[in-house]
Amino acid sequence: MKLKKGDQVLIMKGKDRGKKGKITSVNPERELVVVEGVNIRKKHVRPKKSGEKGQIVEVSVPMASANVKLICPKCSQPARIGRKVTAENKYRVCKKCGQEI
């Protein structure tokens, strides 16, 4: 998976199409990402102590990484990601501007 925590992404598919957000967590085994403020579901939480009321909490749930596209920090456009390998390091490369991410 070429996306990392903290990347700025654009949502390409689903009910939140066109929104931008920051990745808060990544699950590379299942190829899922959680984007801040996107794909919100309501979760009913039971009261923990007696006398306390239950709550309805809004939670961002994971979505497929194929449904998001990285926004290049250099050219600020949504772009595909390539890989560049040198003798010392591996880099992610923007396919539009060719700059290292």
For 78, which DSSP code? Answer: B
Closest CA to 58 of 39, 33, 74: 39
Measured at the CA of 33, the angle between CA 16 and CA 38, to 5 degrees, comes to: 25
Pick the CATH number of 8-70 from 2.30.30.30, 1.10.3720.10, 1.20.1630.10, 3.40.1350.10: 2.30.30.30
What pLDDT score does 1 carry? 84
3-class SS of residue 67: helix
What pLDDT score does 73 carry? 93
* pLDDT tens, residue by residue, 24-71: 999 999 999 999 999 999 999 999 989 999 999 999 999 999 999 999
**Residue-range domain boundaries for the chain:** 8-70, 74-101
pLDDT at residue 4 above 90? Answer: yes
| pTM, two decimal places | 0.86
